[in-house]
Structure 1
Amino acid sequence: MEYVEIARAESERGELVLRERREEGAPAVLELRANGVFVMDTLETSTEQALATAALALVEDPQAVVVGGLGLGFTMHEVLADSRVARCAVVEIEDALVGWLRDGTVPHGPALLADERVAVVVADIAVAMAEARPASYDLVLLDVDNGPGYLVHDTNARLYQNDFLQTVRAVLRPGGAIVVWSAAEAPELGQALLQVFGAAEALPHEVRLQDRDEHYWLYVARVPSAT
């Protein structure tokens, strides 16, 4: 196995690295790491697709969607594959990562970001949600970490707590939903969603990741439909 660094950036949150994983006889794989921690790659994308698919299935008419966390673009890609989606706001705190998708450092990036339904916001998702108009979105997909137990940055802990979830609820329209990705069971997150939304679900999702069977979770809560 050979690793070749493609791009590197430093910010107040630390180091972001895009590298290529090469193995003889196999296609090269792009891998994103933050402060040395694996975030995602282009080999196993079913988790990102599952997040979007599960969220889109929850809402009858998901015209306006927020994706918290750009990553390598696969959650956004799955959202845009749904013709019901008229507007997709992607909130990403790392400006360098947005640049890598825009300029083709991530090869599939330019085509994704060229979709006229996409608006990329370089911001903290907590700030972006606080500044959003009330009842302006049908879905919020949160994929900035591997869940509350595997934070990319310690400050992200607040994203799984009541205050932020209350902010998200205010942004959602009646019948809207939030879906949060987690690499492990997160009962405290489930409890926080229950307190804020009145009901919550933890949906298990199994995936084969680099020759290992992994068990992930989607935490879901909905705003009641208008009566």
Structure 2
Amino acid sequence: MTTEPPVHETIEPGILYFGTPVVLVSTENEDGSANLAPISSAFWLGWRAILGIGATSRTTRNMLRTGEAVLNLPSDALAPAVDRLALTTGSDPVPPRKRERGYVHVADKFGRAGLSPVASETVAPPRVAECPVAMEAVVEAVHPLAEEDERQRGAVLAIEVRVQRVLVHDAVRLPGTDDHIDPDAWRPLIMSFQKLYGLGPQVHPSTLARVPERLYRSPDIELARTAPTRTRTASPA
């Protein structure tokens, strides 16, 4: 007896967040203080990342002004800290669309989340000490989205960043290796349709995993090695 496959039905969901890792983006404000904002539209190709983000957000303005950011990846254990940043903005006054959704201005995002800033090596914004993975990055290109639609034009950007330093907790590194993340130890926080989830165990062996990781190494890794190390006289506030 054969079973008929499920039938697709047409729907119109308000968002298409089918599941992506949460990124806490730290940037530097104009007064030198740190801003910290969670986003859930990000993907990586080699040592580049594309970040989908509102064009007028404090994080975006900081990135476009300074050309720098840190992409901090929280584990699922940090979900409460990430949630404390929900509906907060570093912008004052709060933009109308965010105010309509219930956002409030918070100047000290690290304090609000209960997270610790630590000085970065190659960029001004601090890393989040508690995040198992932190990637210091520089802006390489900005791609406007929906430019053909006057209702959406100028509202959302895809910002291309190049990673120039990857720093991890030893707990997520594959034992006996220098540069490999252990997928069984790394438990990223996932956003799916506005809700926070963890990552379960591997469900099936991956044929793709047979390809040596070295064959994916990007020329950006060589470029990252030339990034100058910043010198600091004090820890970030």
Give the structure-2-normalised TM-score: 0.26
Higher fraction of helix: 1
Please tell me whether Structure 1 or Structure 2 has the larger radius of gyration of its CA atoms: 2
